Amino acid sequence: MLLLMYKNITFLITFLIVIQSITLFSQPSDDERKEFRSPVDIDIKLSGNFGELRGSHFHTGIDIKTKGTIGHNIYAIADGYVSRIKVSPVGYGNALYIRHDNGYTSVYGHLDRFNIQIEQYVITEQYLIKKFAVNLYPEANEIRVKKGDVIGLSGNSGGSMGPHLHFEIRDTKSEKPLNPLFWDMGIPDNIPPRFHKLILNPLSDKALINGKHERAIFDLERNQSVYFVKDKSVISVSDTIGVLAYVNDYLNNTYNRCGVFELKMLVDGELYYYLKMDDLSFAENRYIMSHIDYGLKIDTKIKAHKCYVDEGNHFGAYQFVKKDGRLFLKPGQRKNVKIIATDVNENKAELSFTLLGVPSNIEVPKREYAQVLIPGKVNYFESDGIKIKFPGNSIFRKVYFQYSKDSTMPKLYSDIYNIHNIREPLHKRYSLSIKANDIPYQYYDKIYLASVNKDNEISNAASNVKLEDGWINARIRSFGSFAVALDTIRPEITALNISENKDMSGESRIAFKITDEETGIDKYNGYINGQWVLFQYDAKNDLIYYEFDDYMPKANDYVLKLIVTDNKNNTAVKTISFTMSEMQSNRN
């Protein structure tokens, strides 16, 4: 009896400590919630929310739909000054950062363009350094904005796959993104999260799920917001298993799947796992590769929350995890499991199921592997023609490392090295050295590390490689099949709206398509009558264009020279003569 009381008191103290630690992050007060206005003047409908599971990261903001079009006014949410402006052909594209006086920074991504003042500042800097992609940090208060000022127009720049505004609120001091839905953005939401599937994984050699040593995926039924396994069947398990929840949140007036705010797993009423997406850290974003079952994502495209934690996963959103979230059942033992998903507006859904422990009749399988990689320590592997060094933080869990080698094939300058399994994720890059076959001296600067898929198609795995004593050295962040290749092919330049001696008076810009099939585009520069002009690059559409501006030389006859270089210094040059009427030239 005394032992039982002691256990209960110990659990209560632990629970109170957990609750206290959970509240260390201070959500905005009711007054603070109303400090910020909406960054748009249309009804906010989200295509993505904070903490949503993306391909290789947790989403650090909200994605606001812009009715499928670009050009909507974007507003400063409060007084402040522009602290950073980034222009990139990838990522956030045209992005603006505003530091506010209350300790927060707002971020606006994928803009089509900035307002006139900011645009002129950016263009001046781009022409000064002769580069389209820039990362600028104006002096404090150099560019002040007021709450409600138009700071730009919504767009589809960078890596955006459709017109929208990517919007973030960050803590200025730590630069951590915070959940923007803590603030009153006028987004209605009375829809609870929805569970789609329950997944169980065997986590030990003797683990069985309904008699099989393999992943099990269960269909669900529901009664309003309470979910249960179809037919309400008890799931028989042996030894140690892990629970995964395929669950998403939904908001009013939009069909898009979003991420949950909180996820808890209780076992016989006891808290075993607690995830809370109130803030994120860019340094921890790669932990998503362990947070989800990466192999499940590759096999089925399902991104499910693991309610257990790998040894090398130190994601800060885990508020509490008992016994790493792993569940061990003895024969005859029952465990009632409940998973509770909550959104930021406290709409809830529950998934309940029962596990029954049964004896394991499986023979422990004999593993075939080259060596065991241990998380948290430096691991080395070396074989004929290959050397690998895994830093201590590169793997998430113990890996029974597999390796094989295939003979080379045309266009390759080494054997093909099959390094473990693409279904195993990695956290940090590892060092890979491959012995190259005879490569002519004149092609040393054309070497790259190629990835070889199951159809023997090659693609660029790393173009930034070093050649030392016949070994190719690279740093990569995935398993797979790799070999040494050469890129000697120049990029291709295709004119879209200009031709030799064309009168461009009726055009507002000059546009080209640029592509490179092997290592990708690295540099691009355009000159008119020998003077550098600002060509903008839309990488996802292979589009590069120059909008006629005040920096264009004044003349009637022009010679355009476009130079495009790939990542192995292969260069293509396109030269075209064109004319413009005097009226068009006077515009400049």
Distance from C-alpha of 553 to C-alpha of 415, rounded to nearest angstrom:
53
pLDDT at 298: 95
Which H/E stretch holds residue 559? strand 557-566
pLDDT at 14: 43
**Domain 492-586 annotated CATH 2.60.40.1220:** yes
For 371-486, CATH number out of 2.30.30.90, 3.40.50.620, 1.10.287.110, 2.60.220.30 equals: 2.60.220.30
Structure tokens at 70: 């670009």
pLDDT at 7: 40
What are the phi and psi torsion angles at 536 (to 5°)? -95, 145
Judge whether residue 29 has pLDDT over 50.
yes
Q: Which among 435, 432, 436, 420 is positioned nearest to 384, based on CA atoms?
A: 435
Is 126 in contact with 134 (CB distance < 8 Å)? yes
Is 452 in contact with 460 (CB distance < 8 Å)? no
**How far, in Å, are 52, 489, 517 from residue 566 at the CA level?**
34, 9, 10
Judge whether residue 12 has pLDDT over 60.
no
pLDDT at 233: 85
Q: What is the pLDDT of residues 221-230, one digit of tens each?
A: 999 999 999 9
Distance from C-alpha of 447 to C-alpha of 467, rounded to nearest angstrom:
8
Burial label, 520 (beta-carbon count in 10 A; 0-12, 13-18, 19+): middle
Distance from C-alpha of 196 to C-alpha of 219, rounded to nearest angstrom:
7
Judge whether residue 1 has pLDDT over 60.
no
Q: What is the pLDDT of residues 149-201, one digit of tens each?
A: 999 999 999 999 999 999 999 999 999 999 999 998 889 999 999 999 999 99
What is the average pLDDT across 408-422? 95
Bridge-based pairing state of the strands 348-357 and 226-229: parallel
* Angle formed at CA 462 by CA 460 and CA 464, multiple of 5 degrees: 130
Q: Which residues, in sequence order, are CB contacts of 79 under 8 Å at separation 6+?
A: 100, 101, 144, 145, 146, 147
Structure tokens at 405: 């080698």
Sign of the CA dihedral running 39, 44, 49, 50:
positive
Distance from C-alpha of 428 to C-alpha of 476, rounded to nearest angstrom:
8
Q: Which of 7-11, 42-46, 53-57, 373-377 has the lowest mean pLDDT?
A: 7-11
Is 461 in contact with 411 (CB distance < 8 Å)? no
Q: Which amino acid is at 103?
A: G
Sign of the CA dihedral running 126, 128, 130, 135:
negative
Burial label, 158 (beta-carbon count in 10 A; 0-12, 13-18, 19+): buried
Q: Which among 408, 399, 412, 404 is positioned nearest to 447, based on CA atoms?
A: 412
pLDDT at 32: 73
pLDDT at 282: 95
Distance from C-alpha of 450 to C-alpha of 428, rounded to nearest angstrom:
19
Q: What is the pLDDT of residues 266-321, one digit of tens each?
A: 999 999 999 999 999 999 999 999 999 999 999 999 999 999 999 999 999 999 99
pLDDT at 10: 42
What is the average pLDDT across 82-105? 97
Judge whether residue 22 has pLDDT over 70.
no
Q: Which among 239, 249, 241 is positioned nearest to 265, based on CA atoms?
A: 241
Distance from C-alpha of 374 to C-alpha of 395, rounded to nearest angstrom:
8
Q: Which residues, in sequence order, are CB contacts of 196 under 8 Å at separation 6+?
A: 220, 246, 247, 248
What is the average pLDDT across 504-514? 96
Say how many Å lie between the first and final Cα of the chain, rounded.
Answer: 90
Q: Which residues, in sequence order, are CB contacts of 15 under 8 Å at separation 6+?
A: 271
Is 48 in contact with 58 (CB distance < 8 Å)? no
Distance from C-alpha of 550 to C-alpha of 557, rounded to nearest angstrom:
17
pLDDT at 71: 97
Structure tokens at 55: 């391909």
What is the average pLDDT across 497-526? 96
Judge whether residue 6 has pLDDT over 60.
no
Tell me the average pLDDT of the chain: 93
What percent of the chain has a predicted confidence (pLDDT) above 70? Answer: 94
Judge whether residue 583 has pLDDT over 50.
no
Structure tokens at 478: 């995935």
Confidence of residue 17 (pLDDT cuts 50, 70, 90): very low
What is the average pLDDT across 128-145? 97
Judge whether residue 33 has pLDDT over 80.
no
pTM of the model: 0.91
Judge whether residue 582 has pLDDT over 70.
no
Distance from C-alpha of 92 to C-alpha of 109, rounded to nearest angstrom:
5
Distance from C-alpha of 98 to C-alpha of 39, rounded to nearest angstrom:
12
Q: Which amino acid is at 289?
A: M
Give the three-class secondary structure for 443: helix
Boundaries of every domain in the chain = 35-182, 194-357, 371-486, 492-586
**Domain 35-182 annotated CATH 1.10.8.100:** no
pLDDT at 25: 52
What are the phi and psi torsion angles at 566 (to 5°)? -90, -175
pLDDT at 403: 96
Q: What is the pLDDT of residues 388-403, one digit of tens each?
A: 999 999 999 999 999 9
What is the average pLDDT across 408-414? 93
Q: Give all strands (DSSP E) within 312-428, no chain letters.
A: 318-321, 327-329, 334-342, 348-357, 371-373, 379-383, 386-390, 399-401, 403-406, 416-419
pLDDT at 18: 44
